[in-house]
Structure 1
Amino acid sequence: MPLAILPTAECHLDGLYAAFDAVARERQYLASFQAPAKEAWLGTLRTNIARDLCQFVAVDDEVLGWCDVLPAPGEARTHVGVLTIGVLPPARGRGIGAMLMEAAIDQAWAKGLRRIQLTVRADNSRATSLYERFGFATEGVLRQDFCVDGRYFDGYLMALLRR
């Protein structure tokens, strides 16, 4: 199967869980160090699929990455989505992250969102460059926002507004 960016479906869930866990275990890119309990996590994803939320996977025989834009909590923030993305190490540098982001952002706008935001470790220059290419702006520094093995890292709050 050639590389495809697809809406997340039931058939992708096991591969998506494995991909999330692999990226989390790198301890560099996500706020989690491993995937949560599988059945609860899969239940949440199934609910998100049923709600037709903005979730995409990159598939090339297996899940290589994901990107989602999920609703921010609170009634006053129904216009805001929170973006998360991850790509497996062997698939990085091939433009997969950009393809995933394009699909998720396009769908978020089509669903009426006005703002997409994310947090990223400040030392993750590869990711911040990608976000900036899409028009995300750094809105603030979150001091000591991440702690890995007793070492603290600042984060950036970045956002994209619909024009």
Structure 2
Amino acid sequence: MQYTIRAVRAEDWPLARELRLAALQDPVAAIAFLESHEQAVAQPDEFWQGRTATAAEGRTVRQFIAEDGAGRWLGTVTVLVELAGVQDYFGHVPDVTQTHVVGVFVRPEARGTGLAQALFDAALGWSWALPEPHVERVRLYVHEDNARAQALYEKAGFKRSGVTVDAAVGRELEYAVERG
């Protein structure tokens, strides 16, 4: 399977919306994402335009996508910058500046092709290359019952940190990669 990994562009918002809605219909979406399909469908175009434009700027968030030769999006990953000393989504205050990988999704027909690893490589590469702020670690959370995702993250080099959080969907386990 051939694909290209690239950052989103502001004008990609309809494709970003379509892929997110597809992700939210995945059989494990209820434990993989902190948003429902119904919530996402209800968002106006302006929401998707703003979200995609911010990710395209690449200052505090960057979304990467995998695209086939026909322009169909096969997968995505988004990376959020979290500053040391600033409270995160779960109410924790990190000691170091880090990035947080969210929104990981690969269409079923592209799974097992190396595409997910290529998306993670892009996310980690962007994180380590940021001149400011200097990122010390990259982390993500995964539901304790999502064994498929846990195996994927471990294969991509993430290790369980021992941190857990209680989210609306249940207990989430933190995985991280430290700057080498």
Within 2, Cα distance between the matches of 1:108 and 1:114? 9
Kept in 1, the 8 Å contact 2:65–2:77? The answer is yes
Q: Tell me the TM-score normalized by structure 2.
A: 0.75
Q: Tell me the alpha carbon deviations over residues 38-57 of structure 1, each in whole angstroms, 9 at most, x when there is no partner.
A: 42132022023224443210
Pick one of 33, 44, 48 that aligns with 1:30. Answer: 33
Kept in 2, the 8 Å contact 1:118–1:157? The answer is yes
In the other structure, the counterpart of 1:56 is 64
Structure 2 unaligned blocks of 5 or more: 87-93
In the other structure, the counterpart of 1:106 is 125
Within 2, Cα distance between the matches of 1:146 and 1:122? 13
| RMSD after superposition | 2.4
In the other structure, the counterpart of 1:45 is 52
Q: Give secondary structure in 2 for the equivalent of 1:39.
A: helix
Pick one of 87, 91, 94 that aligns with 2:106. Answer: 87
Residue 132 and residue 154 in structure 1: after superposition, are their counterparts in 2 closer, same or farther (change >3 A)?
same
Task: Establish whether residue 117 from structure 1 lines up as the match of residue 156 from structure 2.
Answer: no
Aligned residues: 157
Kept in 1, the 8 Å contact 2:138–2:177? The answer is yes
Q: Tell me the alpha carbon deviations over residues 41-100 of structure 1, each in whole angstroms, 9 at most, x when there is no partner.
A: 320220232244432100012111111211126655572111011112222222211110
Q: How big is the shift at 1:13?
A: 2.3
Pick one of 66, 69, 94 that aligns with 2:79. Answer: 69
Within 2, Cα distance between the matches of 1:125 and 1:30? 15
Structure whose residues are more often strand by fraction: 1
Letter in 2 for 1:64: L
Pick one of 135, 142, 146 that aligns with 2:165. Answer: 142
Structure 1 unaligned blocks of 5 or more: 148-152
Pick one of 165, 173, 180 that aligns with 1:156. Answer: 173
Q: How big is the shift at 1:123?
A: 1.7
Question: Structure 1 runs of 4+ off > 6 angstroms?
Answer: none
Task: Establish whether residue 10 from structure 1 lines up as the match of residue 31 from structure 2.
Answer: no
Task: Establish whether residue 132 from structure 1 lines up as the match of residue 149 from structure 2.
Answer: no
Letter in 2 for 1:6: R
Kept in 2, the 8 Å contact 1:16–1:65? The answer is no
Within 2, Cα distance between the matches of 1:113 and 1:157? 17
Q: Give secondary structure in 2 for the equivalent of 1:25.
A: coil
Kept in 2, the 8 Å contact 1:64–1:88? The answer is yes
Q: Give secondary structure in 2 for the equivalent of 1:45.
A: helix
Within 2, Cα distance between the matches of 1:9 and 1:136? 28
